[in-house]
């Protein structure tokens, strides 16, 4: 069984962590970020950010970098991403 079971609802999703038993709501940016990281282990932070921007049809900017960093921190805090 996979650790994370994801159910998407248009652009939002919920993720069930089969190890902890926790369920988490993910907003659109965080869903895309989670999927990119899960599907591409080993990507650098810059690669993740540029892939995320392309997927969301956005330009990279200092604000986008900050949002991406905050989303990664959030995913780590709730246990959906391993610490660096």
Cα gap 62→2, rounded to integer Å: 35
- pLDDT tens across 20-60, in order? 999 999 999 999 999 999 999 999 999 999 999 999 999 99
Which token pair is 68? 């991406």
Which residue intervals of the chain are DSSP H helices? 28-39, 45-55, 62-77
Angle subtended by helix axes 28-39 and 45-55, to nearest 10: 130
For 26, half-sphere exposure in the C-beta direction (CA atoms, 13 angstrom radius) is 31
57: part of which helix (H) or strand (E)? none
- pLDDT tens across 3-21, in order? 999 999 988 999 999 999 9
């Amino acid at each position: 069984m996979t650790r994370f079971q994801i159910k998407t609802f248009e652009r939002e999703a919920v993720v069930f962590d089969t190890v902890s038993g926790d369920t988490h709501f993910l907003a659109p940016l965080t869903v895309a970020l989670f999927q990119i990281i899960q599907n591409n282990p080993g990507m650098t932070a810059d690669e993740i950010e540029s892939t995320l921007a392309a997927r969301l049809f956005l330009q990279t900017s200092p604000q986008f970098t900050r949002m991406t960093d905050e989303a990664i921190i959030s995913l780590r805090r709730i246990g959906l991403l391993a610490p660096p």
